[in-house]
Chains A and B, each alone.
Chain A
């Protein structure tokens, strides 16, 4: 049973086709990377899946239900949690409060206007656990805006993780990191994914990161899928070589 099924997913902006009939299935427990050159439609695809922009054509099925027309926050409630390509945090709150607010969103009583100690307790626990899994416990009390760039990227993953998502969507988690920071972040993420309890959809630019982290790779080029398969198959694919990898492997 596929957790996420995209069927003929298309997004047109006037005459420009950003995403062109993408069909894709992601099984539970899988770590899938979507790669492609700049402008291939990776981020647009992310926006379509998470509901940030409206689908022109085709459908998004999540956990066996059509979510194509649901607004972003409802899809998030159904179990999709995402990070952004450009770090998006609550900079004046502590790292702990960031993950707490993320976890609180999954509580049925998240809106309680008075009291709510039990909501906070549950959310803090889930948040602290997520911080621990990403090795951020030692900076938990620092304002998020004062963390190093690498820690900020990981904090965003921790926020998504604190929501106990069924599908974790990461938009270029190593974007803007130095070589050393990237290496560290990749180790942390690899450790996280190896537990096998997460289903991950990853958009990434850095090929080393992709080959290190993902089980399966989907290659986008000008909005459409040109290859799909495990890392070795994709590396060997001639069309991919020509379009993108440029002799990387």
Chain B
């Protein structure tokens, strides 16, 4: 708890001392952190490997973009509504995908993402096809707040991230979270104990997708546009890498993983176009030597082990 307060305070004070470019980068890393954390709920706590998490992210971005372009809905409301909508749609996705387990489950999530990707190219009135949605505004309100400045938008993102983190942490510590861990360790036994594991899996898919939608909904007004790249499988793979590099099953780890990913990408891409190649090497090193990720390293080095 004290650590959380300290981290929140630090993040809240950062806008005072950072140059605009760094602010932009930090905001983006928080959005990606939120995205990665949402995936961690599935990957780290229920061992459900989503390989199509970009579907939820892109969905949230397009939904929020449309709300902001076509209505005067205040920015925070549009963001929340897009996330909620993503979660509701994901109940159906979860229902279908959880018919399968293991690799087949991952392939089904990928199939959904690719389906959405294809739809985005054709459904011009809603998605703008290959042009995407441009000029997405940051509608003012509520309570007379405006979001056009960097700091304002940063604080909105930070609030979403902290709120989601607290929600997720409570979720994984709850009776529901205990059942998820049961599913992760031994699903057959969890069923035999009398849990309807399918329902728990659908629920966590919906929650995870909803939160990924929230992240996407923040991205659209942050960047001012939404395009099909937000639905592409490459992004699904990248966010999975952020979770693993940061440390799956820790919630904080994936946020650090997202920051690390973005930072390394920025640094490397200023030297070479094939930055992904080098990041691939970093990823392999992590998997081989630091399977518990950045946060696992921090925990074992600087903290006494807690359960």
A residues with CB within 8 A of B: 50, 72-73, 76-77, 81-82, 84, 88-93, 97, 100-102, 104-107, 109-116, 119-120, 159, 163
Contact = CB atoms under 8 A, between A and B. Distances in A.
Interface stretch (B56-64, B177-185, B220-228): B177-185
Contacts of A159: 193
A155 to B, nearest CB: 12
Most buried by B among A73, A76, A163: A73
A93 B183 CA distance: 12
Interface of B: 167, 170-171, 174-179, 181-182, 185-186, 188-197, 199-200, 203
Nearest to A52: B192
A161 to B, nearest CB: 12
Given A73-B196, A113-B171, A89 B181 contact: no
A120 B175 contact: yes
A165 to B, nearest CB: 10
B237 to A, nearest CB: 27
B179 A72 contact: no
Contact of A115 (B170, B182, B197): B170
Contacts of A114: 167, 170-171, 174
Contacts of A112: 174-176
Given A101-B182, A111-B200, A163 B176 contact: no
Contact of B175 (A82, A119, A163): A119
A76 B175 contact: no
Given A90-B185, A93-B181, A111-B200, A77 B170 contact: no
Given A76-B194, A105-B193, A111-B199, 7 more contacts: A82-B192, A100-B178, A110-B175, A110-B179, A112-B176, A113-B170, A113-B174
Label chain A's interface by main secondary structure.
loop
B227 to A, nearest CB: 34
B174 A115 contact: yes
A208 B177 CA distance: 43
A104 B178 contact: yes
Contacts of B181: 90, 93, 101
Given A89-B186, A90-B185, A93-B185, A72 B191 contact: yes
Contacts of B171: 113-114
Contacts, number: 84
A100 B188 CA distance: 17
Contacts of A93: 181, 185
B186 to A, nearest CB: 5
Q: Which of A97, A104, A120 has the most CB of B within 10 A?
A: A104
B196 to A, nearest CB: 5
Contacts of A84: 189, 192
Contacts of B178: 97, 100-101, 104, 120
A102 to B, nearest CB: 5
Question: Shortest 3 CB-CB distances between A and B: which pairs?
Answer: A76-B194, A105-B194, A116-B175
Contacts of B190: 101
A163 B194 contact: yes
A88 B185 contact: no
Contacts of A76: 192-194
Contacts of A89: 186, 189
Contacts of B197: 73
B189 A116 contact: no
A167 to B, nearest CB: 13
Contact of A90 (B170, B186, B194): B186
A111 B179 contact: yes
Contacts of A105: 193-195
Contacts of B174: 112-116
B193 A163 contact: yes
Given A89-B186, A111-B200, A114-B170, A104 B175 contact: yes
B189 A90 contact: yes
A92 B184 CA distance: 10
A102 B151 CA distance: 49
Contacts of A107: 175
Nearest to A118: B175
A97 B214 CA distance: 33
B124 to A, nearest CB: 39
A179 to B, nearest CB: 28
A109 B175 contact: yes
Contacts of B196: 73
B186 A88 contact: yes
Given A109-B175, A114-B171, A72 B193 contact: no
A105 B177 CA distance: 13
A82 B171 CA distance: 29
Nearest to A76: B194
A249 B151 CA distance: 86
Contacts of B188: 88
Contacts of B186: 88-91
B21 to A, nearest CB: 39
B70 to A, nearest CB: 33
Given A111-B175, A113-B176, A116-B175, A90 B195 contact: no
